[in-house]
Amino acid sequence: MGIEKATFAAGCFWSVELVFQRAVGVLSTKVGYTAGQKLNPTYKEVCTGTTGHAEAVQLEYDSDQTTYDQLLDIFWHKHDPTTANRQGGDVGTQYRSGIYYHSEAQHQTALKSKENEQKNHKSPIVTEILPAGIFYDAEDYHQKYLEKGGQCSSKGCGDKIRCYG
């Protein structure tokens, strides 16, 4: 099939990016902001909660090496999709859970995946599933932040991901 895009939000984008960097078939990742109203938002603006943007990761993957279903599995296991606007100690609308699809096939796969994942939770899943819109790259210092800080980004690496600011 070839190279495709996927976009996910699951809390602080640093750890979400690292988990996808480690996934076989993922060719590239970038962190940024999506699903908001403000044009060209900055990190400082997104952190105010007034832009409507979520911290997200956009990736390119080789659909001959991995499937969208497999990426969704990583997404669901990375965070708690039942908490609105928070992951762990990170609180705010920018930390919401979201799947931003790039095709109707991704849309249908995401809906089915969410339905299946709900069976694993007592509380309702609050993950938004929306068409992918404009993705604004985050500032350079955010890109591959945890990898630059010395954490393993090798394919298949299972080391615990540590977030820090």
163 an active-site residue?
no
Token pair in block for residue 10: 């699951």
* Cα gap 130→145, rounded to integer Å: 27
* Cα gap 38→47, rounded to integer Å: 12
Out of 12, 47, 152, 157, pick the active-site residue. 12
67-101-33-15 Cα dihedral, nearest 10 degrees: -30
| Residues acting as catalytic residues | 12
